[in-house]
Chains A and B, each alone.
Chain A
Amino acid sequence: MDHDLQQEICTAISAHFGVAIEKLQPEATMESLNIDSLSMIEFLFDMEDKLGISLGDSREPLKTLGDVFKEIDKAIAAKGGAA
């Protein structure tokens, strides 16, 4: 993922969930960040609007922050270019 975009997403997660930005590493699990799946779905809904992307119908669980970055990358690729 593009570094600037990753920073933008981390800033948004930090603001939305009140998690310190330095904890937002790709290997960090949602559990360790105390972010439940329902709240993450809600957050991603807002990110879709913000980035003008559609995350599709994947039912793969988002266990780590890296999984979230990958989902967003896939959506950007599907859209056919950078967000």
Chain B
Amino acid sequence: MRRVCITGLGIVSPIGIGIDAFLSGLRSGKSGIRAIAQSDAGATATHVAGQVDINFAEHLPPTRIPGLDRVSLFALVAAQQAILNANGGSNVLDLHNAGVYVGTGIGGVHSLEIAYEEFFLRGGARVKPLTVVQAMNNAAAAHIAMTHGCHGPVLTYSTACSSSAMAIGEAYRAIKHGYADTVIAGGTEALLVPGTLRAWDALRTLALPDKTNPAASCKPFAKGRTGLVLAEGAAMLVLEDAEQARRRGANIIAMLSGYGCRTDATHLTKPDAGGQAATMHAALAEAGLAPEKIDYINAHGTATLTGDIVETSAIKAVFGAHAKRVPVTSTKSMHGHAMGATGAIEFIAALLALQHGFIPPTMHLDEPDPECDLDYVANQAREGVKLNHVLSNSFAFGGSNAVLIASRVV
């Protein structure tokens, strides 16, 4: 059986664009969350969200930008960074037969909202001709493939909050079982538009803005948490057959050692500890690791009232006594919940922890919920730790769970 390694990382996030900025944000506990005002149909609502400040012209050729939704532009920037990173070795990565596996929750919703606004609000008789091809869910993956000449499988996964973790996991399997040698895998999301924010509002799961500090509105595992904070961004990885990577002298960041993919099949939105535990068990089994070998868990940790308790209980069920020893953190406290991109963003956070020997903090955790009683590394990164295996949880509406495990190169 082939082994799969990670040789390139790229990221566009509310706490930084590019791996260096993201890493520095994780270490310093930076928040990318702020108050944003959005208006629709004459009404204005204030939300908090993890918005990305980006001028695409600084990252992409000017001819590449027109006609693309924000979701595809994010993906292109992250993929370009990851490919550049993977080319750090002695031989340039040949992408001709590479696959592209991208997760996204709702694709090009900016383009759809512009079209609906024109048609329904302004009484326009027509909508922009590129609306369909900008909004379609597989546009981001197709643009990466066209830009970099990738002729392998180009697939899009849409399983809400676990979309990009699924995409990475499925890419891992494609390489492991010989269907591809190289895959650009990750996720992208750009959903901060009025209609989508209102729809999320209606679910009553969004965090209320923190009255004194909007940047501290996402409070995973805290007693005073009020819900999740939506965010946007993209994260891409270059996955390779380990032999190929060694042959071409690539800089191997980590091994992708396990992937669990299971479904609750109980409720559309209510998380299930049994399903989550089974998914972590599946990933550990594939990695061939006992639970005690895991040194850090990047939690799904959305900061919803139910979600954090259920995940805590699932971790206890899987890790037993080790659950109290292993650091469990939610980096969503800093970058927010980027839905289809969040699994990839958090897997990169876990990879950087592994690579640089630190535990990213759970920010805004002054008083933990009594039912959340693990070591969440509150408010300050823990430096100087040696990690061998890290695990990243992604649990989605629809009950679609994905767990990824990465291991130090030995």
Contact = CB atoms under 8 A, between A and B. Distances in A.
A54 B129 CA distance: 14
B63 A18 contact: yes
Contacts of B129: 38, 41-42, 45
Interface residues of A, number: 7
Interface in A16-49: 18, 38-39, 41-42, 45
Contacts, number: 15
B385 interface: no
Contacts of B114: none
A39 B129 CA distance: 9
Contacts of B128: 42, 45
Q: Is the interface of B mostly helix, strand, loop or mixed?
A: loop
B62 to A, nearest CB: 10
Contacts of B130: 38, 41-42
Nearest to B129: A41
Contacts of B133: 38
Contacts of B125: 54
Contacts of B126: 45
Interface residues of B, number: 8
Contacts of A41: 129-130
A42 B67 CA distance: 9
B135 to A, nearest CB: 14
User: Which of B125, B126, B129, B130 has the most C-beta atoms of chain A within 10 angstroms of its own C-beta?
Assistant: B129
A38 B129 CA distance: 8
Nearest to A48: B126
Interface in B124-144: 125-126, 128-130, 133
Interface in B77-93: none
Interface string B39-71: 000000000000000000000000100010000
A62 to B, nearest CB: 13
A18 B125 CA distance: 30
15 contacts: A18-B63, A38-B129, A38-B130, A38-B133, A39-B67, A41-B129, A41-B130, A42-B67, A42-B128, A42-B129, A42-B130, A45-B126, A45-B128, A45-B129, A54-B125
Interface of B: 63, 67, 125-126, 128-130, 133
Given A38-B130, A38-B133, 13 more contacts: A18-B63, A38-B129, A39-B67, A41-B129, A41-B130, A42-B67, A42-B128, A42-B129, A42-B130, A45-B126, A45-B128, A45-B129, A54-B125
